[in-house]
Structure 1
Amino acid sequence: MYHAIVRSVVRRTWRKVNTGDYEAAVSMAAPDLRFRFVGDTALGADVRGPEAFRAWFARFTEHLPGVRLRLVDVVAGGWPWNTKVAVWLQVAGTLEDGTPYRNIAMQWVTLRWGRMVDDIVVEDTLKLDAALRRQQRHLLATAQPSGD
């Protein structure tokens, strides 16, 4: 029963995150949360605490506005003081130049008494890097004077 409750809470949280309510995820963070977004990209992170986690979401929306993270599946196991949660996410949206962006991500979370103490997210970094580069090129191109 406990694991069904955890899965339900995770699903509800990701539904909120998918609408842009990132505070739903931040509110689950323990004061000593360690969050890692794996990869050498503008979104790569290894930070601690809810404020740094919130700042990462701000960076995410700055770099990929309109891109959403939809939970596909969730698995939970362990005891309330050391619960492990695996999440499969679909990443989708439209880049600034009109190009569709599709990716997948996996998340591995450790909960302690319902609070997130460790969160690791792995996304296909080649696709992510290509999308971030497209975004950057588009921003640079649209910032150029028209020359009229």
Structure 2
Amino acid sequence: MPDMYHSIVERRVRALFDAVNRGDAEPVLRAFAPRFEHSFLGENHALSGSRHSLPMTRRWYERLYRLLPDIKFEIRRVWVSGGPWNTIVVAEWKETNSGTDGVFTSNYGVHVLHLRWTRATRLIICPDTAGLKATLDRLAGAGNSEAHAPPIVD
């Protein structure tokens, strides 16, 4: 039974990444529990910080798409542990984008997701922050002021 449950969770997580790859964050937003945390690692950059409400998390995804409009995630591996009442998912990925300046870059990282009864209670996005910071600095240098905007947090 756990193998079947884990397979279902893995397919669902991959489908959420596919939605993000299409520029559609709504399936991700619908996956959150009423009380949740959406965190992106890094110190004081345009995508860093934690959000706990759907409006602020939606604003964060809108910013992500404005900064990296063609962002794509290639899922390398997905690990699922636990039962429906307490599930941990780790998704390892390679991300590619061409930013708003047309310069192709890539980055690597993991998403760590906690699910309770199929609803996301915590999502921690862990990219290579040095690579991301270089991309944001490059975009700001090319005139995209939002690349150096304060984090969206609540």
After TM superposition, the score normalised by the length of structure 1 is: 0.88
Aligned to 1:50: 54
- Provide the C-alpha distance between the structure 1 equivalents of 2:48 and 2:37, rounded to a whole number of angstroms: 13
Asked if structure 1 preserves the Cα contact closer than 8 Å seen for 2:67 and 2:99, the reply is no
- Paired residue type of 2:136: L
Q: Deviation per CA, 1:43-89, whole angstroms, max 9, x where unpaired?
A: 00211022222121111112222222232221111011110000112
Q: 3-state SS of the aligned residue for 2:46?
A: coil
Quote the sequence identity (%). 31
Larger gyration radius, structure 1 or structure 2: 1
* Alignment equivalent of 1:93, drawn from 77, 83, 97: 97
More strand as a share of residues: 1
**1:82 and 2:86 are equivalent in the alignment:** yes
- Provide the C-alpha distance between the structure 1 equivalents of 2:57 and 2:32, rounded to a whole number of angstroms: 8
Between the two structures, name the one with larger relative contact order (CA 8 Å, sep ≥ 6).
2
Unaligned runs of 5+ in 1: 141-148
- Provide the C-alpha distance between the structure 1 equivalents of 2:83 and 2:55, rounded to a whole number of angstroms: 27
Unaligned runs of 5+ in 2: 145-154
Q: Shift of the alpha carbon at 1:98?
A: 2.8
Asked if structure 1 preserves the Cα contact closer than 8 Å seen for 2:67 and 2:100, the reply is no
Aligned to 1:129: 133
- How large is the RMSD of aligned CA atoms in angstroms? 1.3
Q: 3-state SS of the aligned residue for 2:142?
A: helix
